[in-house]
Each structure stands twice: as C-alpha cells, then as structure tokens.
Chain A
C-alpha cells in the first residue's frame, strides 16, 4: 500500500482504499490486542508539535506510539516551549525532521500543518488546525462505525445539531460519502444547515440524503447517530438558543423509537447535547470512541512508517 511515507493533512489526502486499509489494520490490531504490537515501532520517534494545547489528542498520539514500543519527544504548548516566537513553521519543521521519524502537529492557524508537510522530510500528521481539519478524528469515527456496525454501505448515518460551522463534521460527512455510505440524514435547525456547496457535492456523488429539522421523525431508521456540539455563540439571541437547544438534545424520550442496535457517537467533549441519563445505554459508545482513537492512530503511524 502507498501510505508508507505519506502525510495526512486532510482525509481527502487518502484514497478510499487507503482509508479502508487504515481502518482494517486498526480493526485487526483491536482484535489481536495491544501486546502483540509492543515492539512494532521499537527505535522510532514520534515528534508531537502542539502549538496549541490539546491534552486529549496529544495523549492519544503518545499512547499509540508508546504502545508500539516507540519513543516520543515534543512540546505541548508553544508559549512554554523553546519554539522561538516568530520563527517560521518551515524552519522548525526542517529541524524536527532530523530529530524524529514521524510528526504530528496541532496549530491554531488553519493550514499550518499543510505548510509544515511541504517542508518536512518525514511523514506528517495534522492533529487539528483551528476548526479546519482533524483527520485522525475522522479515522477514529470511521473505525468506530466499522468496529461496532460493520460495512459503511449498510449504514444509515444521521448527523444532528450544528451542521453549518463544524468543519471537522463536514470532513466526516464527505468521507462517509466517499466510502459509499447507504444514506446520510442531516438533522439541524434551518439556521445551522449544511453549507450549500458541500450539499451539492454530496448530491453529485449520488449519495442518498434526507434533510430534516427534527430527530423524532427519522430516528427509527438510523443505524449511526452522530451528535454534534451546538454552541451558544452561533445564535443571535438567547431565546433562539433555548428554543433550538431542546430540539437537539438527546434524551431517553427521543431514543424510544430508535433501533436497539443503533450507536450514538459524539466527538467529545460534549456541552449538553447528550443527557447524562443516556451514558448507561448500551447504544452510547462515545466513550469507546476514545479507545478507537488510539488504535486508529497506531494503525496510521505503523502504515506511514512502513512497519505494518
């Protein structure tokens, strides 16, 4: 496979086959168990360049590399690290390329990891750039669906909440469309619908789609329910927020008509989109998503390093 030596900045950088390879490799790792891979990356170094703090993502990458016997170096906050203020990303990355075998970058500036990858001589991973792209979150979500539901072509996936501003959600929707998902249902208030150009792109791909404003009417046909954050600042006034908030919060009542094997996903951390009473429902797998995240990153890095 051609993932060896390749960077991952946006999910679109990988072909459908390459995405499937990462997911399949991660599933194999999950089924086999961690210990079988403890020497896979012995002698390899992962550089974690976190210009913006994100404990969750950083720990997930570090865990993945340590689980495979590799080592890590890097920084978690550009303000406290020795990354010189004003130094170009290009200069930093050219130096880092000689310190490590693979690198992950998180940056508050959109497009920074893409710029970095152009100057790096090692495989580069985008660990999130502003609200722009977060491809390993996408891989994690894909793995979660594959692990708990099976083939994408059999899934009716509903996205609920803010579909306008969440660009990482846009990436996931686009990627699911590329993977020939059976049907995508978009559930959002009229103020927060999917951008027109993405909607048209999905139509052109021939994906079956449905657009609704209310979860209740469609929940009985859903296999994967993906909840997104609704942020208060997206609304013009408090009254609108209160009105919409109640429609897009998942509670036990709304789940009554859902399939017994439907899965509920959420990128975490949640604000209040999912009532705490749902956490004990077997369909709630958002905490297992975090576990999938480590395996997705293990598989990705093992393939990029050519050890798998």
Chain B
C-alpha cells in the first residue's frame, strides 16, 4: 500500500465508501482549512474492497452530522500524541441543524432569516427528516 504521512494530532476519517471521500471533502469545505488535509481515494480495504480516507491535521472538532448524512459508515478516529484516543462510527444523525433546507416552500425556515432549519430523523432507511417548524418530511439528498 502507498504510504502517506501519518498524523500525530487530528482526525482520521476511515472506512468512507469509495467515492464519498470527495463529497465529504467538499461538503466540509476542507480545502479552506489552514491545516494539512489528505484525501486518499480507492484505498484497498479488507472490509469494503475499496475505501476512501481523509486525514486532517490538528483539527479535532468536526461536523459529525454532515459526515453521517453523506456516509454513515464512516469511522472517526481522533488522534492525539500519535495514538488513537477514540474511535467510533458516525451513524445517521438524529438531529440536523442548518445543513439543508426544508422541502416545504410554505415553511417559515425558507423565508425568515432567524429561523435555522432543524430536522429530526423519522426514518433512517430513507433518510427522512421531519422539520421542527412545519413538520413536513424532507429526504436528505446529496
């Protein structure tokens, strides 16, 4: 396997379904970070056949909800002092704030600047979320 510098402080997003790495990279706007970021694509994986990996140097606080929306099978490894100090699957977020818009054109969140769209998961399989304000369900799509 190709060697890429490992990080001593930061986050490694592992087990990203091949092809989703770039989506997470752009959704989280990682290119704008002031720290080194590595996106590895099509890495051979025993588990998935092929996978993507993202390594982010120095950052430990990241929007897990957005990662969960794009690819819930992603594993988040937090690295400190060169060691993995925590490791967990992101899963599908129960609550999502401000990451997408309500599909209901009559919803107040689509017309009032104060209203941050807040959604609650109603069906994990279909990624259906109910709006906190109008209760309409919106399917999250990339």
Contact = CB atoms under 8 A, between A and B. Distances in A.
Interface of A: 88-91, 107-112, 114-115, 119, 129-130, 132
21 contacts: A88-B113, A90-B114, A107-B108, A108-B106, A109-B107, A109-B108, A109-B112, A110-B104, A110-B106, A110-B133, A111-B107, A111-B108, A111-B115, A111-B132, A112-B108, A114-B132, A115-B112, A115-B115, A115-B133, A119-B114, A132-B134
B106 A130 contact: yes
A109 B108 CA distance: 5
Say which size band chain B's interface belongs to: 10 to 19
Contacts of A91: 114
A110 B107 contact: yes
Given A111-B135, A115-B114, 7 more contacts: A89-B108, A110-B104, A110-B107, A111-B115, A111-B134, A115-B115, A129-B108
B131 interface: yes
Instruction: Give the dominant DSSP class at A's interface.
Output: mixed
B109 A111 contact: yes
B111 interface: yes
A79 to B, nearest CB: 15
A195 to B, nearest CB: 10
Nearest to A116: B108
A258 B133 CA distance: 40
A152 B106 CA distance: 34
List the 10 closest A-B pairs by CB distance, nearest first.
A111-B133, A110-B134, A111-B108, A90-B114, A109-B108, A111-B134, A88-B114, A112-B108, A110-B106, A115-B115
